[in-house]
Amino acid sequence: MQLAVAMFRTGILGYGGGPSVIPLIRHDAVSRYHWLNDDEFGETLAIANALPGPIATKMAAYLGYKLRGIRGAVLSVLAHILPSCAAMIILLSAVNILAGSKVVAGMIAGVSPVIAVMLGMMAYEFAHKAYKGLGRWLAAGFILLALVLLEVLHLHPAIVIVLFLGYGTVHYRLLARNKKGESI
């Protein structure tokens, strides 16, 4: 019962994602209930940071598993995520109710240009970094290639990102290998 209450409390109070929830989980797990000592909490946090996915959910699953096995892990995760799920359902219901409101439509219309400018600035900053790192012609070539892949061939953005990450990995490994060869 303590586990469910502690994880429910972190789910309600932990606004802002994993980093804001970790101190709450630490307080319950180390100070209040003594489920873990500081060293074990630190090791668990390090492992949770290394694995993909939300940190707080992984910490909740670990605590539940340590205390009550698989059932404890399931209970702990559910207790942690239910407040967020309930809040999302309530907020989405409010959005559906207010979707036809002229006031809300006006607010969205006022925010849309700001979002467009922010996305444009982000694209400019990425292009500028590519220009500085790759040079004018290679950066222009990659920007053009991304445009063709996304807009002409209609490739999914995730595929394009993976392709460019693959290129970046190979490129920087070759650079690192060349620097080692020069310094020896």
pLDDT digits (tens, 9 = 90+) for 125-174: 888 888 888 889 998 999 999 999 999 999 998 899 899 888 888 988 88
Contact 44, 8 (CB under 8 A): no
CA distances for 175 relative to 43, 140, 168, 178, angstroms = 34, 20, 10, 5
**To which residue do tokens 């002229």 refer?**
102
> In whole angstroms, what is the distance from residue 175 CA to residue 164 CA?
16
Most confident of 96-110, 114-128, 169-183: 114-128
pLDDT at 103 over 90: no
pLDDT tens by residue, 42-71: 999 888 888 888 888 999 999 999 999 999
Hey, is 101 helix, strand or coil?
Answer: coil
The pLDDT > 70 percentage for the chain reads 96
**To which residue do tokens 């620097």 refer?**
179
